[in-house]
């Protein structure tokens, strides 16, 4: 009986460890750098500074603010440390990394699907999933006007729900 219990405990701990993998900034830096260059968020004159780590891409956990060398499975935002640049999401899911490119409506729709898939695989509560999706939509609108740093519809569009059904 004790042997069965110990076997169960060891299998359970292996399962838990496999569910939360870690990545390092160094492992994902090149992929993020390539993406930000293609998205025209890093100027040609800055590329070598990012490659040599003179400048670092900011990668921060959405909920816990986790940043640094070790990144556990979860959802992060990333951007250059410059002001007026766009921000993007990154999902780390085991050995898979998904950059959510929300520069256009089609990218937003694809990102929502990827986020829902990730949250369902992780069995996140609906309130966590809703917050991630809401953050994606907010970021989509903020990225339309990165110099303003906010959703311009909130200044000039409909902001009052009293007249809505």
Structure-model confidence comparison of residues 152 and 45, the more confident one: 45
Compute and round to an integer the Cα radius of gyration of the chain: 19
Paired tokens of 83: 């002001």
Strands 70-72 and 74-79: unpaired
**DSSP H helical segments within the chain, as ranges?**
2-19, 25-38, 47-51, 105-122, 126-144, 153-156
Structure-model confidence comparison of residues 143 and 113, the more confident one: 113
Q: What is the mean pLDDT of residues 15-21?
A: 46
Task: Quick: pLDDT tens for 70-110.
Answer: 888 999 999 998 888 899 999 999 889 999 999 999 999 99
What pLDDT, on a 0 to 100 scale, did the predictor assign at position 65? 82
Length of the chain: 165
- Domain parsing of the chain, residue ranges: 21-153
User: Which region among 11-20, 29-38, 61-70, 97-106 has the lowest average model confidence (pLDDT)?
Assistant: 11-20
Q: Going by C-beta distance under 8 Å and a sequence separation of 6 or more, which residues neighbour residue 108?
A: 102, 136, 137, 140
CA proximity to 105, closest of 157, 158, 142, 141: 141
CA 77 – CA 109 distance, rounded (Å):
17
What pLDDT, on a 0 to 100 scale, did the predictor assign at position 126? 95
Task: Quick: pLDDT tens for 114-157.
Answer: 999 999 999 999 999 999 999 999 999 888 887 766 666 666 67
Side-by-side strand order, sheet with 96-100: 58-61, 74-79, 88-93, 96-100
CA 146 – CA 156 distance, rounded (Å):
16
- The span from the first CA to the last CA of the chain, in angstroms, equals 62
CA 8 – CA 103 distance, rounded (Å):
47
What pLDDT, on a 0 to 100 scale, did the predictor assign at position 49? 95
What pLDDT, on a 0 to 100 scale, did the predictor assign at position 41? 94
What pLDDT, on a 0 to 100 scale, did the predictor assign at position 108? 97
């Amino acid at each position: 009986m004790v042997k069965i219990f110990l076997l169960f405990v060891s299998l359970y701990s292996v399962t838990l460890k496999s569910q939360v993998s870690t990545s390092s900034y160094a492992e994902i830096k090149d992929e993020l750098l390539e993406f930000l260059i293609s998205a025209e968020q890093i100027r040609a004159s800055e590329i070598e500074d990012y490659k040599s780590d003179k400048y670092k891409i900011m990668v921060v956990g959405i909920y816990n603010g986790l940043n640094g060398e070790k990144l556990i499975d979860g959802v992060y935002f990333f951007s250059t440390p410059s002001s007026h640049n766009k921000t993007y999401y990154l999902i780390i899911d085991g050995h898979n990394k998904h950059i959510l490119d929300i520069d256009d409506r089609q990218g937003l729709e694809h990102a929502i699907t990827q986020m829902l898939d990730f949250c369902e695989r992780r069995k996140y509560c609906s309130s966590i999933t809703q917050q991630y999706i809401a953050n994606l939509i907010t970021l989509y609108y903020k990225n339309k006007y990165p110099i303003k740093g906010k959703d311009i519809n909130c200044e000039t569009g409909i902001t009052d729900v009293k007249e809505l059904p």
